[in-house]
Structure 1
Amino acid sequence: MVSELRQAATAVRENAHAPYSGFKVGAALRAASGTLYVGCNVENVAYPEGTCAEAGAIAAMVAAGETVLKEVYVIADSPMPVTPCGGCRQKLAEFGAAEVPVIMATLGGEEQHTTIAELLPGTFTVAHMESQG
C-alpha cells in the first residue's frame, strides 16, 4: 500500500508549480474510505501566498467530502526526506489521529517513517478552546 502512495505522490510532484524555488513537492494521502488524494506545491510570486503539497491533498480530500486521513506520503528531490512545514503538521493533525503514519521520502528512495504525533508533539486541538467558565 505504501508503494501506491509513493507512486501517486511522485506523479503529482511533476505537476508542482515551483518556478521560483524549483523545489517540487508531491503529497498523497489515504482517507478513511481508502481513496487516495494528492497535492503538489503551488508557488506564487507574492511569497508566502503559495500552498504546500500536503495542504493541497487535504483540500482535495475535504472537497470530496472526506475528513479523516489514515496515511500520508510526502516526496521531494532533496538530499534527505522532506518534512511537512509547521502549518502542514497542524493541518495533518486536524484530520488524522496521532498514530497516523507519515512517510517522508526522497526521489532517490530514502524514506523516513514517523507519525503525526511525533511530527507535532503537543498538538493544538479543539479541547484547548473549551471554556473554563
Structure 2
Amino acid sequence: MTVLDQLFDAARTAMAKTHSPYSKFPVGAAILTEEGKIFTGANIEVVSFPEGWCAETTALSHYVMGGGGRITDICVTAEKLDECTPCGGCRQRLAEFAPADARVHLTDQRGITKTISMAELLPLGFKTEILSQ
C-alpha cells in the first residue's frame, strides 16, 4: 500500500466518524507531513449553522496539537460528492499552514482521482506575511 493509499484510507476512516446530522454530508480529510505523520478530521456540525467545523479544520487542529511539520499532501473525501474540494474558508486555513506546492488530492469512493497544488486550489489567497511587517 502506498503512502497516498494510506492517506486516502485515513480520510475515509475519519469521514466515518463525522457528526453531520443536519446536512447529512459526511466529509473526511487527512494531512500528511514530510515526516510521514498523518492527521485526520471529519466535519462536525451543530444546530447553529455555520458554527460547526469542516473536516479540513478538524484535521488542522489535530495537526497543530500533534506538533505540526511541513505539510506535503492533503486528501479530502466526501461520501456524496466525487472530487469534493475544500470550502473557501478551509482553502485559506490550509494555505496558512501548507506551502503552495503541497498536493491536494480529490477522490471518488475508490481512491484519489485528481491532484492539484495548494497554489492551484487558492491562487489569490490572502497573504499573511504582510501582517508581520
- What TM-score do you get using the length of structure 1 for normalisation? 0.91
CA distance in 2, matches of 1:109, 1:130: 40
SS state of the match for residue 26, structure 1? strand
Segment drifting more, 108-117 vs 90-99 = 108-117
Matched, 1:17 2:19: yes
Matched, 1:105 2:107: yes
SS state of the match for residue 20, structure 1? coil
Provide structure 1 residue ranges, at least 5 long, that are not aligned to the other structure. Answer: none
Kindly indicate whether the alpha-carbon contact (under 8 Å) linking 1:23 and 1:76 is maintained by their aligned counterparts in 2.
yes
Listed one character per residue, the Cα deviations across residues 15-35 of structure 1 (whole Å, up to 9, x for unaligned) are 000001110000011123210
Task: Tell me the equivalent position of 1:57.
Answer: 59
Task: Tell me the equivalent position of 1:88.
Answer: 90
- What TM-score do you get using the length of structure 2 for normalisation? 0.91
Query: How many equivalent residue pairs?
Result: 131
| 1:100 shift after superposition | 0.4
SS state of the match for residue 89, structure 1? helix
Task: Tell me the equivalent position of 1:26.
Answer: 28
**1:79–1:59 distance in 2 versus 1, CA, 3 Å:** closer
Task: Tell me the equivalent position of 2:131.
Answer: 129
Matched, 1:45 2:54: no
| 1:50 shift after superposition | 0.5
Task: Tell me the equivalent position of 1:117.
Answer: 119
| 1:113 shift after superposition | 1.1
CA distance in 1, matches of 2:111, 2:32: 20
Provide structure 2 residue ranges, at least 5 long, that are not aligned to the other structure. Answer: none
Percentage identity across aligned positions? 37
Kindly indicate whether the alpha-carbon contact (under 8 Å) linking 1:42 and 1:53 is maintained by their aligned counterparts in 2.
yes
